[in-house]
Structure 1
Amino acid sequence: MPPSSLPVSDHCDGRRFFNPSSILPASPQRRRVGLGEILRWQWRRRRLPAWPTPTVPPPAGDPQALPAPGTVHVTFIGHSTFLLRLPRADGTALTVLTDPVFSDRCSPVSWAGPRRVLPPGRSLDALPRVDVVLVSHCHYDHLDLPSLAALGRRDAPLFITAPGNARHIRKAGGRAIVECDWWQHHDVGGMRVTATPARHGSARTPFDANRALWCGFDIRPAGDGPSPSVFFAGDSGHGRHWAQIGARLGAPDIALLPVGAYDPRFLMEPVHVTPEEAVSAMIELDAGLAVGMHYGTFRLTDEPYDEPLRRLAAARAAAGVAAERFVGLGHGECRVMSPRRPERRGPARQDLARQDASG
């Protein structure tokens, strides 16, 4: 059962979480979407052409390889699941997995719900031992109990998530779980993981809407370390939080940003960015590099299969962002990524130390 009371804050009234006005865009969608609109949308969706079954080449790169100082190995497994290998001062790597979903469907049941167009780009067995699992929120395409259970049995990782989600992870057998509210952090393996605001929502049943928080994550060295910084957005609509994150924590070297599941806008505008908004998010974060996600794996919305990356390319060009700075990785590809700027970006080390009091 959801907790009977939650910590009151600018994004929680004690019973449910909400998106505060401080992170909303200047002109957010204000009207409520009625049940009739949703039912009509679901009926119209039945006439949409099916997504193709794409043919993909064998995945490139080695997810088991150790990263050199100043680089991060980023492996795109599909949807919002990435394997990150971040270098540590002792020559080893901290291995992080984001929103792991290896199941065939993202659904409360195995026989219905959105089904994969492509299998995971890398199987769990092909991955190195995972140290940390980041869970941004509890929607089924981001929090998959069978995947979490398999990871728990194999690696016993640390799970970091937002308040209200630990109860779900415990159902999968997770033991080491840390909940971080927005702007709170946890240090692990020489890295600082900070939960960041996102404009979204949560539910796993008709009865627990917004009883668990949603977030993104900023990952950067807790001290002087060899790893670039990485921002993982989770799910989010557009808003002022991008600039707030960059200003407060420092511009990330690499940003993992959603570019799909945005159509129809009357329903998705508050919760999912368009490719054009993803480019704006990259600019507002002042990210050195960006990687697209949340597309081409599960058909959650109405846009054609290949539209997100086509619109991303056009939006990138219109904004004057070089093609190599905001990319879509191949299915299962492991890419060695380096920051665009050699200097360490982010708060001074003494500022990071002062954050300890709030973490």
Structure 2
Amino acid sequence: MTDYSFSVSARPGVAPEDSKAHHFKDDRGQLVRYENPFPSYGHWRDISLPRALLIFARYRFQGKLPVPDTSKANIPATRAQFLPSRIADTKSLRVTWLGHACCFVEFPSGFRALFDPVFEERFSCMSPKRFTAAACQPTDLPALDAVFISHDHHDHLSYPSVKELVRVHPRVQFFVGMGLAKWFQDGGIHAVTEMDWWDDADVDLERTASEVVGSDSAAVQAATIDPERISVHISCLPSQHGSMRSPLEKDRSLWASWAVTSGAKSVWFAGDTGYRCVPEGIEELGPGFDELPRNPQFSQIGTLRGPFDLGLIPIGAYQPRFMYSPVHASPYDAVEIFQDTRCKAALGIHWGTWALTSEPVNEPPIKLGEALKVKGLAETGLFDVCAIGESRQF
């Protein structure tokens, strides 16, 4: 196994004029929380947590929040497999979807990145149980350089998963939004880089030592061909969501999407995001829908950081739209986000793992296909889904 030293140089990057509109400051000019600054967030801007709970209770009482049946879900899944060495393929980007928003990306440079890792059966004591098994565990990952966290919600940031990743890969570096580094530091994890929207970072990994255990020829070969140096470019970019590790921490840390480029291949990881707010009484693609405000930041991402070789874009956890549209993209939203961000190809994530909302658990890929047909993209194969644990090359 090869060790690498890790150096990070972060700085503000090219940004639109309103790049700090998400900073909410008090009367003394102190940053106290973050917010979604555009009309696309809609009615949730003025809804408090107690009122949101009342709306949830009303919807439940009215039967508008059915619990989806997972007993016959039959989501395609396979045991994840990874490249035996960092330079097994010097041209392709290899992505393995591990369920929900968790993705493992193997860049042609040798860089290995993990996004929003949660390996547990339940992500909290109150969460539903996985209805598809985890595709792997942290001990199965052959190499890991960096972990990117989109936000602090429990289904995207798991303390047991993070601690196990650090145990297995002690040199791993975490990249998080503003305000979230303290959570890691309180848990004894200090290899954390905290970034704001539109910040860039240049990362250098330099090989320091190789330790080959036993006489395994595959291990010897991997250590021999691991690159001397790996260069990575990272951008912390907007999304439309929120944060709340506990009720007293609402929006105290920043949610984000991430762009990562290494070995001439780029990935944009959307994490968890909405696109437009759909009020009660408006149906998707129905009268008035196309006039709803869209989040302009996705077009800004495409213009200022794109194009990207691959987008990892959420397509699940979207019903009912009045409740979830400000923070969760529907498959139709996902296709527009794909177009706005100038991704050359995309995989649908954030579905098929936990039943978090009311749509049937098998529905997101079906709705994605319908959305692609509406946009004239159905036959292109540019935006696809895969089995949990499956790897795709781009």
- The partner residue of 1:248 within 297, 304, 321 is 304
Maintained 8 Å contact 1:102/1:120: yes
Q: Say which SS state the counterpart of residue 252 (structure 2) adopts.
A: coil
Alignment-mate amino acid for residue 58 of structure 2: R
Match of 1:330, as an amino acid?
A: A
- Residues 174, 42 of structure 1: alpha-carbon distance in 2 compared, 3 angstrom cutoff: farther
Give the structure 2 partner of residue 68 of structure 1.
89
Partner of 1:40: 58
Residues 83 and 98, structure 1, Cα contact 8 Å, conserved in 2: yes
Q: Determine the C-alpha separation between the residues in 2 that align with 1:97 and 1:57.
A: 19
2:260 to 216, 219, 224: 219
CA contact (8 A) 1:198 1:235 kept: yes
CA 1:219/1:145 → structure 2, altered by over 3 Å: closer, same or farther? same
User: 165, 168, 173: which is aligned to 2:188?
Assistant: 173
| Residue aligned with 1:271, SS | coil
Q: Is the 8 A contact 1:61 1:335 kept in 2?
A: no
1:42 to partner: Cα distance:
4.0
Residue by residue, what CA displacement relative to the aligned partner does 1:12-69 show, whole Å, maximum 9, x if unpaired?
A: 1211100112xx44x9446745332111234547753421352645347544454533
- Please state whether the residue corresponding to 1:148 is helix, strand or coil: helix
In the alignment, structure 1 residue 161 sits paired with structure 2 residue 182: no
Tell me if structure 2 keeps the 8 A contact 1:194–1:218.
yes
Alignment correspondent of 1:193 = 234
Say whether the 8 Å CA contact 1:67–1:85 is kept in structure 2: no
Q: Unpaired segments of 5 or more residues in structure 1?
A: 1-7, 338-359
Quick check: 2:103–2:114 contact (8 Å CA) kept in 1? yes
The alignment of Structure 1 onto Structure 2 pairs a total of residues equal to 316
Are the equivalent residues in 2 in contact too, given 1:146–1:172 (CA < 8 A)? Answer: no
Give the match's secondary structure for 1:137. Answer: coil
Q: CA deviation at 1:9?
A: 3.7
Distance (whole Å) between structure 2 residues aligned to residue 328 and residue 336 of structure 1: 13
Q: Deviations over 1:90-132 (max 9, x none)?
A: xxx100000000011122x3xx322211121122222122100
What SS class does the counterpart of residue 16 from structure 1 fall into? strand
Per-residue displacement from partner, 1:248-305 (whole Å, max 9, x unpaired)? 1121110000000011111111101100010011111121000100001011111001
Note if 1:54 corresponds to 2:68.
Answer: no
Structure with the greater relative contact order (CA < 8 A, sep ≥ 6): 1 or 2? 2
1:104 aligns with 2:121: yes
Distance change (3 Å), C-alpha of 1:20 and 1:54: same
Distance 1:58 1:113 in 2: 23
Alignment partner, residue 269 of structure 2: 232
Q: Which amino acid aligns with 2:256?
A: C
Find the aligned partners of 2:188 and 2:248 in 1 and give their Cα distance: 23
1:170–1:104: structure 2 CA closer, same or farther, 3 Å change rule?
farther
Once residues 77 and 302 of structure 2 are traced to their aligned partners in structure 1, the CA distance between those partners, rounded to angstroms, is: 36
Identity %: 32
One-letter code aligned to 1:287: C
2:359 counterpart residue number: 303
Alignment match, 2:100: 79
Measure the CA separation in 1 of the matches of 2:356 and 2:241: 15
The answer to whether the aligner puts 1:336 opposite 2:393 as a matched pair is yes
Matched, 1:282 2:303: no
Q: 1:125–1:36: structure 2 CA closer, same or farther, 3 Å change rule?
A: same
8 Å CA contact 2:113–2:144 kept in 1: the answer is yes
Q: Distance in 1 between matches of 2:316 and 2:264?
A: 28
TM-score by length of 2: 0.75
Q: Which residue of 1 aligns with 2:36?
A: 19
Q: Contact (CA 8 Å) 1:63, 1:334: kept in 2 or not?
A: no
The match for 2:129 among 115, 119, 137 is: 115
* Cα deviation, residue 186, structure 1: 1.9
For structure 2, the 5+ residue unaligned runs are 1-18, 25-30, 205-230, 276-294
The residue identity in structure 2 corresponding to 1:132 is A
TM-score by length of 1: 0.82
Change (3 A) 1:60 1:123: closer
* 2:152 aligned partner: 138
| Counterpart for residue 4 of structure 2 | none
What is the alpha-carbon distance in structure 2 between the residues aligned to residue 29 and residue 164 of structure 1? 25
CA RMSD between the two structures: 2.1
Deviates more, 1:44-53 or 1:308-317: 44-53
